[in-house]
Structure 1
Amino acid sequence: MRLLIIGDIIGRPGRRAVYRFLEEKGGGFDVVLANVENAAGGFGVTKKVYEELKSHGIDVFTSGNHIWDKKEVYEFIDKVDDLLRPANYPEGVPGNGFCVCEKGGVKLGVVNLMGRIFLEPNLDNPFRTFDVIYEELKDRVDVLVVDFHAETTSEKWAFGIYADGRASVVYGTHTHIPTADEFILKGGTAYVSDVGMTGAWYSVIGMHYKEPIDRFLYALPRKFKVEDKEPVVFNAIEVEVDPDTGRALKISRIKEMYE
């Protein structure tokens, strides 16, 4: 099974890059996953954007701390199975933290988790949450993929080792900068600390650079806006998994630039 995993999509420029890549090179993948917590105007996701992305061939949507930024998400996140929020939010939070889909006779489980360092300390422990979900899914799926949305590489790397041999793929999102540490771990889990973003290249994590730099200079709040006048970078990973064993066979980074 060939998986295409797209990093955080930033606003309309990021969506355009996704559509172009999928149109030109997306035909060879069995499943396409993408993190969409910044897909609508740089903050959150709307139903329109979700449906637009789905119509272009994305199968499963993951997210993170910005999933709640567009309030309309509360109206539809419980009505769809393929838009995930982190599973370690407390009980009672809308939405689902994992899903199962079937492609070509292969059952794929996707889990969305969020780290706690420098994020939301009141979340449930993501390591222990994974244990519970793994026990529920291990006999139901052939391939298990985890989006670990976290700030620090140490927390991501520790989780990768923790899940090694149980998850087929563990990939990091949230920091928007791709890391050069794609490995197949000892137990057969494909790992990378951060896939990177899909959005404007000459920007501060997809946002026009002036407002973030002003914030760094003056320590005052600034309203960020998506950079839409620069070339865009498409960051993703390709992973090949043996569905008979659940072990990863290959992981490689993908980077494309578009005007």
Structure 2
Amino acid sequence: MKNSILFGLAVALIVLSVLQYRSCSREKSLTSVINMKNDSIRIWQDDASRWHGEALTAQVTKADLQQFFAMEVEQIRKDFDVKLKNVTAYMQATTDTRDTVLMKTDSTTKIIIQSPSGDTAKFQYTDQWSRFDAVLTPKQMQLSYLVRDSVSFVTAYKRARLFAPQQLTLQGISYNPNTRISGIRNITITPPVKRFSAGPYIGYGWTGSAWAPSIGVSIQYSLLKF
């Protein structure tokens, strides 16, 4: 009788722990969504004049993705040849490139101005990150341009301040000093927990009359995974 009561109490504690764990996981997911939607991008330049941008990341389930990010889901379906069930993350970044060009030739700059006739002039400017070609006539100007850039992103946990909880962030860097990262939006999708499994096991459990070690092969359903 005493063993049965202890077994019942153990089962009840396990069930309560599982329910509490699932509630905390759901709350954590919703908190990350709220924090990301309320967050503003942080932009700064490092000592090498490269632009950085950083913002919080939301960690959601597939169901939460469709509930809280309907616009992003629609964009994924419209713009990408993938199935939504196979998507594991969505990242969007916006940039703007601006500069004032000083027309001075050096080892990385090339300027050509030609005027073979009185009616037409050609202009070309080239540096490490851009190229501009222009043809000017009395009636119009044709401008062709190319802007190069290289952008890298890293996802990492960071603390906003000492002893604050860690939050998942996405930080990007533009290696073109004239290109600024002006917006970041990042969503990671947590995979569903696979609770059924099959295989050998070694454990310690209730045999019906006493607690004892056991070994064998079983099909298992995990109430709680770490």
Higher relative contact order (CA 8 A, sep 6+): 2
Give the structure with higher Rg (CA).
Answer: 2
Q: Is the strand fraction higher in 1 or 2?
A: 2
> TM-score, length-normalised on structure 1?
0.19
> TM-score, length-normalised on structure 2?
0.21
